[in-house]
Structure 1
Amino acid sequence: MRFKEMLRLARPPSILLLGALYVAYVLAGGVVFWQLEGHLVQRHVGVLLRQKQRLLSTYACLDQGALAEVAQVVQDASRVGLSLRSNYTADGFWKFSSSAVFAATVVTTIGYGNMSPSSTAAQIFCVFFALFGIPLNVVILNRVGKYMLASVRNLADFLEEKSGRRRLSRVSIHLASLVSGVLLFFLVPMVLFQQQEGWTFSQAIYYCFITLSTIGFGDFVADSNPETAYPEWYSVLMASWIFFGLAWLALLINHSIDILERLNSHCKQLWAGPSEGHGEEPPGAEGEETKKPSE
């Protein structure tokens, strides 16, 4: 038995290779985040402890217990979307516009975590609302994504018919759709968030991806600053951006999954080596080939 055949028989299942790659990728990401953020935490802890001591020394009437009460009040106010420095949002988070955006984050599974139902009735309703809303959202997004893809393909077929160049037309249309999607769902919102929220461009582009990928950390949430008076159209624009952006990014992720699947199949073929039909000729093949001319 040849070494290549022994290697082919001893190869592990592809699911184990993918699992090992997945675990290695996650662990490598953990190491990078640890190195980038770990030392910052220690620095921030030291700064906060010094600020606490300075606050206690400045206000002699404020002891440890009073400071804890003040911190609790600030925390409770932040949870309901109220600012202790202004009164722009007297209704807190649960206005109709912000409630509608919250409902959108539930069915899209973004789940920022900046606001959540506190009453028993609202929590029970949230469970059933998500139970039926999440599948409905998936179906709608898939349908919208298919319409987007069909539009791109129809435009590619039209250009192919006019120009007669199939590959060039399809590459051009897919590249144009990618650029327009990045412009419409990332760059334009980035400028808008920079103006309305006061974020930097890096924070805005970070928020765009974290939202549209449904990761939803909640460290940055648009239309939720209690010290800012937002225009009425802002919530509607936010909801529209989330919906169509999710459909576009889901389509893009599906293309990436397809590329990875093809790459996986290609690697499996390389690992398995040439198939029996393309490798050594089986016994009797030479005789069959010599018979063909006589036939």
Structure 2
Amino acid sequence: MARCGLPSLLPLLLGGFYLCYLLLGAVIVSLIEQPQERRLREEMRLLKSQFLNLSSCLVQSDLERFLAKVLVADRYGVSVLSNASSKTNWDFASSFFFASTLITTVGESREMFDFIYRCIQSFEMLSKKRVFNIR
């Protein structure tokens, strides 16, 4: 006895479950992270205000421009703190690890890597056959 409607409903049910899972995850993460983010924003606003009040020769726009540059540098792992390490983030070992991780874990990169690798293998096989066929 065949079940007529069940196979066609399965993708719809799985899609609905997946959507509910994503929505529930988003709600939980928001509930956990928003209070901390609000507290940190208020703390940073207060700290900046106190710093500007203590430094009468510093203009707010200059401070914000300086902080923007510091934050951009921090995204690249470069710190302006005097106690930060001077070790580079992109030495050969780190770069090699990043490149290998990128190639092996990212879907499209992995497929492209596999494609290029197969092309190289095919070229090697063809070139070897030509050498043997010349005899």
Q: TM-score, normalised by structure 1?
A: 0.33
Residue 15 (structure 1) aligns with: 11
In the alignment, structure 1 segments of 5+ residues that lack a partner are: 111-126, 137-295
C-alpha distance 74-131 of structure 1, shift in aligned 2 (>3 A): farther
Highest RCO, 1 vs 2 (Cα 8 Å, sep ≥ 6): 1
- In the TM superposition, what whole-angstrom CA distance separates every residue of 1:49-82 from its partner, at most 9, and x where no partner exists? 1111011112222211211222133123323332
Contact 1:81–1:93 under 8 Å retained in 2: yes
Q: Percent identity, aligned pairs only? A: 29
C-alpha distance 68-108 of structure 1, shift in aligned 2 (>3 A): farther
Measured in 1, the distance between the counterparts of 2:55 and 2:72 equals: 23
Residues 5-154 of structure 1 mapped to structure 2, 5 A cutoff: 9=4, 11=6, 13-84=9-80, 85-86=82-83, 88-89=85-86, 92-109=88-105, 132-133=112-113, 135=114
C-alpha distance 43-80 of structure 1, shift in aligned 2 (>3 A): closer
C-alpha distance 80-28 of structure 1, shift in aligned 2 (>3 A): closer
Contact 1:81–1:89 under 8 Å retained in 2: no
Residues 213-292 of structure 1 mapped to structure 2, 5 A cutoff: none
C-alpha distance 14-78 of structure 1, shift in aligned 2 (>3 A): same
C-alpha distance 32-78 of structure 1, shift in aligned 2 (>3 A): same
C-alpha distance 61-82 of structure 1, shift in aligned 2 (>3 A): same
Report how many aligned residue pairs link the two structures.
111
Runs of 4 or more above 3 Å deviation = 8-12, 129-133
Q: What do you get for the CA RMSD once the two structures are aligned?
A: 2.9
